[in-house]
Structure 1
């Protein structure tokens, strides 16, 4: 069976220039989607697009700050005008912050909110009119296990990802009659370049030790691979998942249920 194909689908992926977003973009491109990458880091976006086209796929890149609604609306309008539709939106652009309530400044909170919360809102706001007109569409937001459980030293990040989860539920409820599905995925630690950079910066000389410690946080004994998030995203955005909306999917190596 030729399952999970995205032929003739127009997919927009924010944050598709690195990490999880890059993996999702590549998986979607390999499955036949026309991939449109929205990225603040245009160089990363161009590399992702080049990798997709090198494998025979279709991809385009748009420089955009998701925290600025006017920029996001302009890009979505450009994509819709050129492609005639937008079938899939994946909100993957996001930033992290380490700190508790008493060590998180107002500037820290605003910075995380503007990208993770407002950026997700901006992209959904910019695409919902097109999807309503089509009477179809799929939105997938990238939340986190921090949406559901307490994570030490992640006050602002947890706030933002909790908002992503509840925005997902609200959109799923409000637009179900318009043929629009909305779900989210909640990864635990995923081995991306960000993780390697964080370890190198904060634990110089102890990189291997800290990598193993962070890996063991997940009961399964390792971090997720970006492509594993990509393949779950593929399923949730495919026609085979047409009966699924308003759901959160932990991709956590047993973290939420087994980490007792």
Structure 2
């Protein structure tokens, strides 16, 4: 898998955007309406943000530093509480859900962040097994030492999918940045998510590792029919690996269009 990604980087063009428009009557996995969020009196970050993500779409959210990308993602899933607005996830109104029910619903979402948030002193395999905690809980999800054979096999399968089965017993703090992000993706896959939300997933990686990770997202999301919502600073990557693109500027959505209809030049006035 890594060799294939390196071949693409070496000279082949970036992958075609996710094919075809998503049917208008397809299920809406995430819908947000009128999100507003301020941090302190004079720091209004979101100003009535509204958007939706349909099942099996790959949606990129772009914008400059401070535009509100990460805050919009976190408010949409109530990782932080918005000041105003409403949110629906997989058809459930999450705006006022109790925390216990919200946690169960969010267990169907795999999160991948710029900081990989791996436990450094345990193995890659144990980190992937941690992905089961949201669904099952209990001591079996703490470590490969306590996990039943079925759970370990499932975690190994997830590592195999991201090309790191040979690193299963290596400590997370001995992995490269690209390998760490692959383990984070495997951990998200361990949840059997309906949707993956990735916030700047390759921002901390070098260009080669960044392309490899985005190639991996591209392959896994299409093969398994998982919805993808990700933020990016890289306009070319955002266009190549999404079916739809949103641009946010100064806390407002200023563009919502099919990626196939856009070019990097088109995005210039929206980015900054």
Under a length normalisation based on structure 2, what TM-score does the superposition of the two structures give?
Answer: 0.28
Q: Which has the higher contact order (CA 8 A, sep 6+)?
A: 2
- The answer to which structure has the higher strand fraction is 2
- The answer to which structure has the higher helix fraction is 1
Under a length normalisation based on structure 1, what TM-score does the superposition of the two structures give?
Answer: 0.29
